[in-house]
Amino acid sequence: MRDQTSALVSFRHVKKTYDGETLVVKDLNLDIRKGEFLTLLGPSGSGKTTCLMMLAGFEYPTDGEIWLDDQLLNRIPPHKRNIGMVFQNYALFPHLTVAQNLEYPLKVRKIPPNERDTRVKRALAMVGMEKLSKRMPSQLSGGQQQRVALARALVFNPQLVLMDEPLGALDKQLREHMQLELKALHEELGLTFVYVTHDQSEALTMSDRVAVFDQGVIQQLDTVDRLYESPTNLFVANFIGDNNRVSGTVVARDGSYCDFRLADGTIVRALNAGSADVGNQATAVIRPERLSVESQFLTGGGNVIETETLDAIYFGDHVRLRCRGPGEAECFVKVPLEHDWQSHVRNGNRIALSFREDHLKILN
């Protein structure tokens, strides 16, 4: 019996290898809370999909335990796990109507015919597909097929719904619309959703918490705002949103902060999130929106660096300046449209960038 916790799902020291040598998942410990929207995020090959497949029952762990409530799942087949699954390619049966696709998992679970009909109608209503119950999958758009696949995952009242990049085949506008629909449906139903994606903006849009994977290990598990504002290492900082990186040396420490000497000799103050010691070579990161263009060069201290403008990219709601900073490092600055950005875009123009000390973070 596992330790009693408030988690609906628990991974305990789970490992997975396909060849007996290389671990795709390394000693995973993860609790998934009842009712939350948890996203497993990471690049291809990071282990996120393997974790989802082990939870669904399509893969078995090499070592460790996976629990759903107080049930050990390790050797239980998928259809006996009471878990709904939505795949990227939807996996609808092409020879069955929409209603028949939804009825299939109910037949497997030996639900009586009258109850099957009620559940199918209710699930289709959840996703706004009641009028298309008699259509074949080939007669549906991509977005409609995605809704049917979601309804099929919900039709048998699962404890848990798993989604493996279900919006990956949709165009950008429809994908963004479906992200909002999925989030609203999750809040309405109160079910536990576990979602796999490599798209960090998708993860930030929908999730209560995000587990960032790399090389079979969770690098950080946190709420979306903390992932963005307080990454725990360089991988997370670079994978979540845009970040500028600058190298330098720690020359003094003062509690949680330090003095940081850049390649051109400029000394700035930074948040020492990686606990770097004096004399250490280190890397600091700062978000493009945390840099401000100064109208004139400042003297007498403050966090200001001198850069050279390379070009500007117009994004509609802001302009992104590309600059060359200390040590030939390139950096980006998000400039609001109301700012006089056009005066800074001449190639070779020297501009000063300022920032707060807590926005420049030294990480490992």
> What is the C-alpha separation between 133 and 155, in angstroms, rounded?
14
CA distances to 112, 121, 159 from 124, in Å: 18, 5, 18
Residue by residue, pLDDT tens for the chain (364 residues) are 444 447 999 999 999 999 999 999 999 999 999 999 999 999 999 999 999 999 999 999 999 999 999 899 998 998 889 999 998 887 899 999 999 999 999 998 899 999 999 999 999 998 888 899 999 999 999 889 989 999 999 999 899 999 999 888 788 888 888 899 899 999 998 999 999 999 999 999 999 999 999 999 999 999 999 999 999 999 999 999 899 999 999 999 999 999 999 998 999 999 999 999 999 999 999 999 999 988 665 555 579 998 998 988 888 888 899 999 888 889 999 988 776 667 666 777 888 899 999 999 999 8
Q: Please return the burial class of 130, using the count of CB atoms within 10 Å of its CB with bins 0-12, 13-18 and 19+.
A: middle
Q: Where are the alpha helices (DSSP H) in the chain?
A: 48-56, 98-108, 113-126, 142-154, 172-189, 200-206, 224-229, 234-239
* 246-284 exposure pattern, b = at least 16 Cβ within 10 A, e = fewer: bebbbeeeeeebbbbebeeeeebbbbbbbebeeebebbb
> What is the C-alpha separation between 88 and 182, in angstroms, rounded?
15
pTM for the predicted model, two decimal places: 0.89
Which residues lie below 8 Å from residue 21, measured CB to CB, with a gap of 6+?
none
> What is the C-alpha separation between 98 and 129, in angstroms, rounded?
9
Token pair belonging to 256: 């949680």
CA distances to 246, 290, 307, 325, 338 from 263, in Å: 9, 21, 12, 9, 32
Nearest to 119 by CA among 141, 101, 137, 132: 101
Domains detected in the chain: 7-236 (3.40.50.300), 242-363 (2.40.50.100)
Token pair belonging to 363: 């990480």
Nearest to 268 by CA among 358, 357, 361, 364: 357
> What is the C-alpha separation between 248 and 205, in angstroms, rounded?
34
> What is the C-alpha separation between 150 and 129, in angstroms, rounded?
11
Per DSSP, what are the bridge partners of residue 308? 324, 350
Q: Under the phi-then-psi rule, with left for phi > 0, alpha for psi from -120 to 50, and beta for the rest, what region is 363?
A: beta
Question: How many C-beta atoms surround the C-beta of residue 240 within 10 A?
Answer: 22
Q: Please return the burial class of 215, using the count of CB atoms within 10 Å of its CB with bins 0-12, 13-18 and 19+.
A: middle
Residues 208 and 192: beta-carbon distance below 8 Å: no
Place of tokens 């050279």: 308
